Amino acid sequence: MRIVIAGGHGKIALRLAGLLAGRGDEPVALIRNPDHAQDVRDAGAEPVVVDLEKATVTELAEKLMNADAAVFAAGAGPGSGAARKETVDRAAAVLTADAASLSGVRRLVQVSAINVDEPVPEGTDEGWAAYVEAKRAADADLRERHLELDWTILRPGRLTDGPGTGKVALGEDVERAAVTRDDVAAVIVALLDEPGTAGRTLNLVNGETPVAEAVRAVAP
């Protein structure tokens, strides 16, 4: 499969590219900075330079043409302000969904964050509150596209860089906890292989169930 990854130089994206390439798929990494091209090549992906904060929907749709699926894994990052949470975590996600629809790429997995539909507690850091709101809005937009896209929203818990365990808890009612980026990438691969997960919003943390089994369990 040809899989286009928005936010292709991110930590999850690079892991995802390696897994896809390792099994013979063709990952394509959308990157803003051309200096990151070698990193994504080293991970096994084809680098394509496009700025998700500036591109038009037509320009992005051209990058998605002939893909079998897309993954939105972009994020403004913890050091960014509220404005970039809006332009990357929300607007770029909406743009990616628009472009997928325009280019005829129905399958889209969107990486969000656990429990973003819940109210933000009073006194929450402004940057975190902006991040949660941006992810919530992006997810809400995607949920309205059931006629044009076969989407899955994946909401990982607190991300860690430890080695993957291969075991997770995945579902709508999973409680907040940590999950390795390795395991998030593995779950994305399994979701891409399981069309029955389309239309689902799934929380993800480390747990006791093997990845493939956990994904099969949430497919009707």
* Catalytically active residues, by annotation: 131
Instruction: DSSP letter for 36, please.
Output: G
**How would you label 98-121 residue by residue, b for 16+ Cβ within 10 Å and e otherwise?**
bbbbbbebbbbbbbbbbebeeeee
Give the list of residues 6+ apart from residue 24 with CB closer than 8 angstroms, or none: none
SS3 118: coil
From residue 161, alpha-carbon distances to 113, 122, 178 in Å are 16, 29, 10
CA separation for the pair 56, 103 (Å, rounded): 13
- Which among 218, 200, 85, 215 has a CA at the least distance from the CA of 152? 200
Instruction: DSSP letter for 76, please.
Output: -
β-pairing, 46-49 with 150-156?
unpaired
